[in-house]
């Protein structure tokens, strides 16, 4: 065999080995960086739960009459909310930077705005009245259990049950005759809550 060919083959083999080693050295730190990046992205367990009910009403009435105004320009609003749903959450082993974090909320909200105006040249009977009735009932519960929050954030839990009602009423009556059963604002609001918040952390 020619010595020149043997020398060329050794050169090719040596060069190939050098390329493989170089690729291995380049790829090695890339793999390590991916593992480190994945570790930093671990943020433990995070959960949010909510049950929400909302109602809103806006009513406007305007009457102008040259004679008698009877049963006119009345605003009536009925709002009712009932919740029996529950939020239940269990978290275990939140060993990341954030540990275990849970938020639970049950909320009910109602709002009403009523405006009535009557201008009558004669009698005004049963007109220009605002009536608002709002009712809220909640029997839902928030239940949270957290165990093993060994991360930087440990165990963190927030729970809330809220009920809100608002009413705004304005009535104006101008009558050239008698005013009977008119220009009245009636507002009835009721809230009942039998729900509870329960949390266990260890």
> Based on the domain organization, do 82 and 182 belong to the same domain?
yes
As a residue count, the chain comes to 202
Q: How many domains does the chain have?
A: 2
Q: Which two tokens stand for residue 86?
A: 């529950």
Q: Give SS3 for 126.
A: coil
- Same domain? For 13 and 110 the reply is no
Distance CA 39, CA 35 (A): 6
Same domain, 74 and 18: no
- pLDDT (0 to 100) of residue 70: 96
Q: Does one domain contain both 1 and 56? A: no
Query: What are the pLDDT digits (tens) for 13-68?
Result: 444 444 433 433 333 323 222 222 222 335 678 889 999 999 999 999 999 999 99
Compute and round to an integer the Cα radius of gyration of the chain.
36
Give the C-alpha distances (Å, rounded to integers) separating 172 from 17, 72, 191: 97, 13, 30
N-term to C-term CA, the chain:
78
**pLDDT at res. 151:** 63
In tens, the pLDDT along 133-184 reads 999 999 999 999 988 777 676 888 899 999 999 999 999 999 999 999 999 9
Per-residue confidence (pLDDT) for residue 165, from 0 to 100:
97
Higher pLDDT, 120 or 94: 120
**Are residues 28 and 114 located together in one domain of the fold?**
no
Q: Which domain holds residue 11?
A: 1-41
């Amino acid at each position: 065999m020619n010595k020149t060919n043997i020398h060329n083959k050794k050169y090719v083999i040596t060069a190939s080995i050098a390329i493989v080693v170089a690729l291995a050295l380049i790829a090695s730190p890339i793999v390590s960086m991916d593992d480190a990046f994945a570790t930093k992205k671990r943020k433990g367990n995070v959960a949010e739960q909510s049950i929400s009910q909302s109602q809103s009403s806006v009513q406007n009435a305007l009457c102008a009459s040259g004679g008698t105004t009877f049963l006119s320009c009345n605003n009536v609003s009925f709002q009712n909310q009932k919740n029996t749903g529950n939020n239940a959450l269990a978290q275990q082993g939140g060993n990341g930077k954030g540990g275990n974090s849970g938020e639970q909320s049950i909320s009910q909200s109602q709002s009403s705005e009523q405006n009535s105006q009557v201008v009558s040249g004669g009698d005004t009977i049963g007109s220009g009245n605002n009536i608002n009735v709002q009712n809220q009932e909640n029997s839902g519960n928030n239940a949270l259990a957290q165990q093993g929050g060994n991360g930087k954030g440990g165990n963190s839990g927030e729970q809330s049950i809220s009920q809100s009602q608002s009413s705004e009423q304005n009535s104006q009556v101008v009558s050239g005759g008698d005013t009977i059963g008119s220009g009245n604002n009636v507002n009835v609001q009721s809230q009942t809550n039998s729900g509870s918040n329960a949390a266990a952390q260890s």
